[in-house]
Amino acid sequence: MGLTTAGVAGVATAPGLTACGSGSSGSDGEVTLKVVAADYGDSTANSSQKYWNKVARAFEAKNGGLKVEVKVYSWTEVDRRVAEMVKDGRAPDIAQIGAYADYAAQGKLYRADEMLSIPTQAGFISSIAHAGEVRRVQYGVPFVASARLLFYNKKLFDRAGISSAPPAGTSSNRRPSSSRPVG
């Protein structure tokens, strides 16, 4: 089966991609790799489709004779869509999904070390890379990490002189010099 790893970005830039999956071959000998990715945008303006199209075109430019067909689904439904494709015998060659452990356990995935160079693997944050393991073998390739919720202790912030949690992308929201040291 052609389903490979979760986390396309690390794989899409790796030389090993050309050998992966069951990419379909047309009558002209051209191979088309089928990629399914998660969309983290909330509108057409910031859809992940634009990003993946750019990645696909760059990959094609570097690898003549290879085409990349990208389908992007909302992150809330991408796992279900891939499961349906696999069930229907239309597994993608590469999938950016979270629910890959069952596929790994069934022997339907390539191991990361079969797809990626050692320097590429060494570049992963180890705690995130370990999250892609099944029975101590890495199948999932890190792509993104995020914090859905972040909590803070208002009393400690007050004692530190911080008036509120800083907005995303800023480094500090401290009150002027009237703040007291935390002790």
26 or 136, greater pLDDT: 136
Per-position DSSP letters for 72-141, written without gaps between them:
EEETTTHHHHHHHHHHTT---SEE--S--HHHHHTT-S--HHHHS-HHHHHTS-HHHHHTTEETTEE-S-
Q: Residue 67 — pLDDT band, cuts 50, 70, 90?
A: very high
% of the chain residues with pLDDT over 70: 72
Evaluate if pTM is beyond 0.75. no
Q: Where are the domains of the chain?
A: 8-138, 147-183
CATH homologous superfamily, domain 8-138: Periplasmic binding protein-like II (3.40.190.10)
pLDDT over threshold 90, residue 52 = yes
